[in-house]
Chain A
């Protein structure tokens, strides 16, 4: 897509996802409508054909993600968007994308509760599902966003990471970010850094589609380009052929993890606010991070040494950044719209170095700054 200029828009998070996907070069969307993500499908059904891309409404979310994986094998950057019930249906094929190393982006605009829950209320209840929802040991990359502008940038990142590391990337938005309208200044297309999958340059006869390479990420040929290779969800050798040979099984599974571990510093995106001297660190992500920032300001006004650690890459969990940020901290308060999913991670990483508390929003409402300030007062453990 050549040349959309820099532009100022008043738009929703869901619209920003569309803008970001187009900037990143999306050419295929297959999905099934569900609140609160539907706008993404609706707008792409209009925009994709304009850039020579393809939108298809599939019969369910399983078909949505299946069609995206197929389209990606054809060489098209692919995306689907959904919410909890649809995300649950997609789980098996997320694992397919991981083991067959097929780039694609899955947007989950989280709604409240299991099952149909509260379709139009915000939540962050799918954090652990995004990490562990598909069966078997596997790596995954999960990003989130706290604002409409971040929704744009993280969509671009999601595509870039998926292409660079050959893995499905999940973008978890909460309903607040998905539906909130903000004024944003979007960069011109040529200002956006776009990463494309590495293609093989060797003759087809030499091509090993799942070869161990320097980066851990093998070059990926599209179907139809002359590299006839095999793609399977079975554990496979370097040729993509099924194997049960122990050494090959271990090697292929290790490589899946290894490529993500090596990219850790690149993948883990976090932000620290007022943390240099902070004894109390509020940990938050998504729309909650906005409330948390405000709460930190209020606490600072009252003389408390508070800071914010904002997480944008939820998985792999940015453990090192958290540790580096928490030099003088004694206490962490993890604020999230669930009963404590990232709280458990922070607690795990703490290893007794800080006390860890949680503020849980579990009523389908946003978490207001005051709620955080009040909770922090209650814990009252800092000097």
Chain B
């Protein structure tokens, strides 16, 4: 019998960890973490086989609250650790949650190379378009002209499009949604987890304190309403010109394809092992363990 949301949270949140969490009221990071937990529940993976990792930032604090093998690395380096974890033990299900600065600022090089390697890790990227933890400095995804504590007259550079960067770099599953679209978020994360290869889910996330305030949003609700208005399904965005696409939030699955996964390819081609391996993140391959 499927568990309720409350039961799922109860199952996966750490009971020996001192709460409350560090996030501001209205911040979307918790919404993303909740969706991750429900998606992980749907895979049927046991808590023991999941590695939940992160870098540094408000988003980076997520792992400490959840009852998996958890790892809070250094700023930008989550994917390097995750790669070692997965390469050394392909049976582990490795999920990495990163902020935008973490993923494509300081960690940008690791990000594109993880995409290129197509190693079976799921990267959930909380793109709040700002450096949250450090108080609202511009990030590589802050929109041109938006205000930040280090861009008082508006950001001069153009932003990265994380999902398109992932597609171009070779990630074999790439999707995007927003913190408004909670249901879609959960489904996309589930598909990313189930996908055997490097999978990316970018979530445009409301950060009322560090982005909203300075950019004249009255509250988090106004921010998610704007996300709803800006979102356009990837199919509807087909044929749009570059500028028009960039003025919207293109949501849905941007890329899904079969491609050689690193750990399997290494095992077969380099170690010469027979291609039996059930080493991928295929869901339901292990029985879920009892709720504690």
Interface residues of A (CB under 8 A from B): 27-28, 30, 49-50, 52, 54-56, 58-60, 62-76, 78, 92-93, 96, 222-226, 228-234, 239, 241-242
Bound: A368/B281 CA distance, A: 58
State the Cβ distance, A73 to closest chain B Cβ, in Å. 6
Mark interface residues in B85-100 (1 if CB within 8 Å of A CB, else 0). Answer: 1111101100000000
Q: Do B113 and A59 touch (CB < 8 A)? A: yes
Residues of B within 8 A of A229 (CB): 69-70
Task: Choose from A224, A232, A241 the contact partner of B89 (Cβ within 8 Å).
Answer: A224
Residues of B within 8 A of A69 (CB): 73, 81, 84
State the Cβ distance, B267 to closest chain A Cβ, in Å. 9
Q: Do B48 and A226 touch (CB < 8 A)? A: yes
Bound: A58/B74 CA distance, A: 17
- Knowing A63-B110, A231-B70, the reply to whether A74 touches B85 (Cβ < 8 A) is yes
Q: Do B83 and A230 touch (CB < 8 A)? A: no
Residues of B within 8 A of A56 (CB): 83-84, 87, 266
Residues of B within 8 A of A241 (CB): 17-18, 64
- Knowing A70-B82, A230-B70, the reply to whether A49 touches B87 (Cβ < 8 A) is no
Q: Do B74 and A223 touch (CB < 8 A)? A: no
State the Cβ distance, A38 to closest chain B Cβ, in Å. 19
Bound: A74/B121 CA distance, A: 15
Interface residues on B, range: 35 or more
Task: Choose from A68, A224, A232 the contact partner of B84 (Cβ within 8 Å).
Answer: A68
Residues of B within 8 A of A242 (CB): 64
Bound: A52/B271 CA distance, A: 7
- Knowing A66-B77, A71-B84, the reply to whether A228 touches B64 (Cβ < 8 A) is no
Residue of B nearest to A95 (CB): B74
Q: Do A58 and B113 touch (CB < 8 A)? A: yes
State the Cβ distance, A207 to closest chain B Cβ, in Å. 11
Q: Do B83 and A239 touch (CB < 8 A)? A: no
State the Cβ distance, A232 to closest chain B Cβ, in Å. 4
Residues of A within 8 A of B109 (CB): 59-60, 63
State the Cβ distance, B270 to closest chain A Cβ, in Å. 5
Bound: A241/B87 CA distance, A: 26
Q: Do B77 and A223 touch (CB < 8 A)? A: no
Enumerate 13 A-B pairs (CB-CB under 8 Å) in ascending A order: A50-B271, A63-B110, A66-B74, A67-B81, A73-B71, A74-B85, A225-B48, A226-B48, A228-B69, A229-B69, A230-B72, A233-B74, A241-B64
State the Cβ distance, B20 to closest chain A Cβ, in Å. 14
Task: Choose from A27, A54, A70, A230 the contact partner of B64 (Cβ within 8 Å).
Answer: A230
Residues of A within 8 A of B48 (CB): 224-226, 228
Residues of B within 8 A of A70 (CB): 71, 80-86, 88
- Knowing A27-B88, A52-B271, A71-B88, the reply to whether A96 touches B83 (Cβ < 8 A) is no
B39 within 8 A of A: no
Q: Do B64 and A74 touch (CB < 8 A)? A: no
State the Cβ distance, B163 to closest chain A Cβ, in Å. 21
- Which interface residue of B74, B91, B109 has the most chain A CB atoms within 10 A? B74
Residues of A within 8 A of B23 (CB): none
Q: Do B87 and A71 touch (CB < 8 A)? A: yes
Mark interface residues in B242-275 (1 if CB within 8 Å of A CB, else 0). Answer: 0000000000000000000000001000111000
- Knowing A71-B84, A74-B92, A223-B92, the reply to whether A66 touches B73 (Cβ < 8 A) is yes
Bound: A55/B49 CA distance, A: 23
Residues of A within 8 A of B51 (CB): 223-224
Residue of A nearest to B83 (CB): A67
Bound: A78/B88 CA distance, A: 9
Bound: A230/B51 CA distance, A: 10
Residue of B nearest to A225 (CB): B48
Given contacts A56-B84, A230-B64, 12 further A-B contacts (CB under 8 A): A27-B88, A28-B88, A49-B271, A50-B271, A58-B83, A63-B77, A63-B83, A63-B109, A70-B81, A226-B48, A231-B70, A232-B71
Bound: A65/B83 CA distance, A: 11
Q: Do A49 and B270 touch (CB < 8 A)? A: yes
B16 within 8 A of A: yes
B68 within 8 A of A: yes
Bound: A66/B16 CA distance, A: 28
Bound: A71/B266 CA distance, A: 15
State the Cβ distance, B108 to closest chain A Cβ, in Å. 10
- Knowing A223-B69, A224-B48, the reply to whether A67 touches B84 (Cβ < 8 A) is yes
